[in-house]
Amino acid sequence: MRYQAVCLIAALLAVPTSGLSQTAAPVPTAAAAPGAPAPAMPAGHPAVGANPQAPDAAEELEQDAVVSNSGIPSGVIQVKLVNEKGQPWPNADVKLGVQFQKISEGEQHSEKFTKTDAEGLAHFSGLTAGSDFSYRVSTKNGPAEYASEPIQLKPEFGAAALLHVYPVTRNIEEASIGSRGFVYVETRDDVFQFEVLFRYFNMGSVTWVPQDARMRLPEGAKAFKASDSTEDARFEEDPGHGVKLAGTFGPGQRNVSFRFQVPRHEESSASFRFGLPPHTAEIRFIAEAAPTMQLDIDDFEKPQTDVNQNGQRVVVTRHVAKRGEAPLKTFTAQLSGIPTPGNGRWIAVLIALGLAALGAGVLRGVFGEDAQVDLQERDAERARRVLLDELVDLTRARKNQVIGPSTYESARRVLVEALSRIVSTNPGLGKKSKQRGAAKGGKKAQKGAVA
């Protein structure tokens, strides 16, 4: 993934873009999501490292979290499962994922299983502490999976983990789900590189597990790659349709992202049609843009220009669903004024090819001697001038960042090869023109003297 794009998207998530109207409905603060940094402990919770009266350290946690505690023996992870009301979740299967990773030995994975007792408690013992081992506790409720953040045990004592298990639905209308989407596009030499991020909010107590939540991508989309994440929520490739949401969207907040590419042709405009997943409350489109480029999307706010963290010009616009109106399902983004390489270089190459054909005709005696010299020198000189002019224009375009390094190198290589061919085919190019010009001048002088 292109890290500059991700940084800009992250900044936009935190701070509204300058110049855009701030009409989006406020998003309530969500509970901490699995995988997020552990929240502050509630009032009355023993400090990390303290020795509580009871060993059941997880019992006093109010949110999903993992804490190290000296009241738990070394090498032990204590798990407590509770339902949406905080009541124990008994007789449930609990899995402990074990990851061992060491440079000299590689990476290994294993699993351990147990069940919760009548109080919703489960224990894993005999575990190894240290930075080489990482553990992750998880449980399932139907198609939903709930997991803790990664756990690294300290040598002195064990850890306590609390997980909530919620009711589950496949129907998004039965869950309090909303999302904000961000689409970032960068124009490269041969492709349009897209980065897509959706932030999902579940403000209820029912988990949503998507079944047919799809997002249609522009025609020609390729090279799909989902971002690495420790959470179960994700986008997956959906051949023939685009991508689809999968995994578990429990109460709280989840970020899901991916990237893909669309082939770029040497045209000054491009169109990209998207189909949005359900319950998209806001969608923002950001395009890295040269000074000549413009962005237009129907029913979106007027595009505004800004500068990203790398000093690059970006054009930004968005659509925010208004209260009472149907959410946006599709949109088409139009990019215009895209810089394209000039066609002079290809004309020059064709001239060079024509010159080669002309040389072949000369060797076969198709033209007379004078015609041979005149035609060959005239076309060779014309091709040389065109090629040199194109090299100058190409260098200027690269200096002004109108074209990228790959386009510059490939076009320069074609021009230099064509120029070399002309020079090698006509070793006296330039000298003969001067000699013939001097000869013509001498003849005119003689005619003048005779007169």
DSSP 141-208: ETTEEEEPPPB---SS-EEEEEEE---EES-GGGS-EEEEEEEEEEE-SSEEEEEEEEEEEE-SSSEE
In Å, what is the CA distance from 219 to each residue of 126, 308, 404, 409? 54, 28, 24, 29
**Close Cβ partners of 12 (under 8 Å, ≥ 6 residues apart):** 182, 284, 286, 316
Q: How confident is the model at residue 393 (pLDDT cuts 50, 70, 90)?
A: confident
Q: Looking at residue 369, what is its pLDDT? A: 54
**Close Cβ partners of 370 (under 8 Å, ≥ 6 residues apart):** none
Which one, of 91, 151, 81, 149, lies nearest residue 115 by Cα?
A: 91
The answer to whether 161 and 151 are in contact (CB under 8 A) is yes
**Close Cβ partners of 34 (under 8 Å, ≥ 6 residues apart):** 64, 146, 147, 148, 149, 231, 250, 252
In this model, does residue 30 exceed pLDDT 50? no
In Å, what is the CA distance from 252 to each residue of 9, 173, 207? 20, 17, 10
Rounded to whole angstroms, the Cα distance separating 223 from 411 reads: 25
Task: For 410-420, write each residue's pLDDT tens digit.
Answer: 777 777 877 77
Report the 10 Å Cβ neighbour count for 66: 22
Which one, of 145, 138, 135, lies nearest residue 122 by Cα?
A: 138
Task: For 201-227, write each residue's pLDDT tens digit.
Answer: 999 999 999 999 999 999 999 999 998
The answer to whether 417 and 352 are in contact (CB under 8 A) is no
Rounded to whole angstroms, the Cα distance separating 211 from 392 reads: 56
Task: For 256-271, write each residue's pLDDT tens digit.
Answer: 999 999 999 878 899 9
Q: Summarize the confidence of residues 44-66 as an average pLDDT.
A: 48
Q: Looking at residue 54, what is its pLDDT? A: 36
The answer to whether 143 and 170 are in contact (CB under 8 A) is yes
Give the HSE-up count for residue 230: Cα atoms under 13 Å, Cβ half-sphere. 17
In this model, does residue 86 exceed pLDDT 80? yes
17: which 2 tokens?
A: 């873009």
Q: Is the pTM of this model over 0.85?
A: no
